[in-house]
């Protein structure tokens, strides 16, 4: 088998949501179902969106099937589910304020599901864009009080953002993506979200369900910035600049800017790659902004060439 036949190029799954827009088509050239497309599940083996392998030796199979039947591709890693999920999110409007449980809480309260740690790389945003990360309550009692009294403006911590910023969102962290923001999200493979506040918005005349008590249960107080994010430091190389973004229990995420030709070993259980800008090749196969692929265990050395930026993750 040709080595490149082993690359798992994935077909993303698009999600229609109220707050979505058209940038997944306009900027990334994906086929989108409507003018309200908010999420591209680019590397996913979740029931709510399972990516198909686009070509090669495993063409037409889902990532979750490969995880079940070909665990050797992932270094015989243990676990019921492929551990990570990578999305591109186009928030045309504000998302609701939310929080995720950790593994322990999710296991108890959500039928053995995983909790959710996630991180955001800001691909692009409006000039005055901001996001919500954390809150201003001093302790758990104040969290409950402020939420019950509906003092959300005072409660949430809003910070300005710019293209290229990076944030780690620990379980228990209040967070929200705001309108005018395009994000690459790397997360634990979980879809459990508790909605704390939805700006009083109505959907078809009705407010969306909130999960107040579960939210109060899991919100960490006081808010502390994640310690997992490494100091931003770009290691410059002749053909590639490299920046480690985060290392935590669940994943490592780095950014690679290729400008030339570089050969590296695939020495992890698997490497997930998303091309976020530019174009080039992997071992002679063309890749461009919007291409997502996995290099499986034992792939061996690989060569990236071209002028492109990639986000790489593994665990």
Catalytic residues: 195
Residue 139: burial class (beta carbons within 10 Å; 0-12, 13-18, 19+): exposed
Cα separation, 218 vs 172, whole angstroms? 5
Phi, psi values for residue 24, rounded to 5°: -65, -25
Q: Which residues of 299-312 are buried (b: 16+ CB within 10 A; e: fewer)?
A: beebebbbebbbbb
Distance CA 245, CA 252 (A): 8
DSSP 215: H
Contact 114, 82 (CB under 8 A): no
DSSP H/E element including 247: strand 240-247
């Amino acid at each position: 088998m040709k080595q490149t036949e082993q690359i798992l190029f994935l077909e993303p799954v698009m999600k229609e949501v109220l707050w979505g827009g058209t940038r997944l088509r306009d900027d990334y050239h994906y086929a989108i179902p409507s003018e309200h497309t908010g999420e591209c599940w680019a590397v996913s083996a979740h029931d709510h969106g399972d990516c198909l392998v686009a070509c090669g030796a495993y063409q037409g199979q889902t990532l979750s099937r490969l995880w079940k039947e070909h665990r050797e591709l992932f270094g015989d890693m243990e676990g019921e589910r492929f551990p990570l999920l990578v999305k591109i999110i186009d928030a045309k409007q504000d998302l609701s304020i939310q929080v995720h449980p950790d593994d322990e809480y999710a296991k108890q309260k959500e039928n053995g599901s995983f909790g959710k740690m996630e991180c955001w790389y800001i691909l692009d945003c409006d000039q005055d864009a901001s996001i919500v990360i954390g809150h201003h309550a001093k302790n758990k009692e104040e969290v409950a009080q402020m939420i019950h009294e509906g003092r959300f403006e005072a409660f949430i911590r809003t910070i300005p953002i710019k293209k290229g910023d990076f944030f780690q969102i620990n379980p228990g962290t209040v967070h929200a993506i705001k309108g005018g923001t395009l994000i690459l999200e790397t997360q634990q493979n979980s879809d459990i979200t508790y909605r704390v506040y939805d700006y009083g918005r109505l959907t078809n005349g009705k407010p969306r369900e909130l999960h107040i008590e579960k939210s109060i249960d899991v919100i960490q107080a006081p808010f502390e910035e994640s310690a997992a994010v490494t100091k931003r430091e770009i290691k410059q190389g002749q053909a590639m600049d490299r920046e480690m973004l985060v290392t935590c229990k669940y994943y490592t995420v780095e950014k690679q800017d290729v400008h030339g030709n570089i050969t590296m070993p695939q020495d992890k259980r698997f490497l997930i790659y998303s091309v976020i800008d530019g174009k080039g090749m992997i071992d002679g196969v063309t890749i461009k902004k919007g291409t997502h692929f996995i290099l499986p265990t034992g792939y061996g050395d690989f060569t990236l060439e071209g002028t492109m930026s990639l986000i790489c993750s593994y665990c």
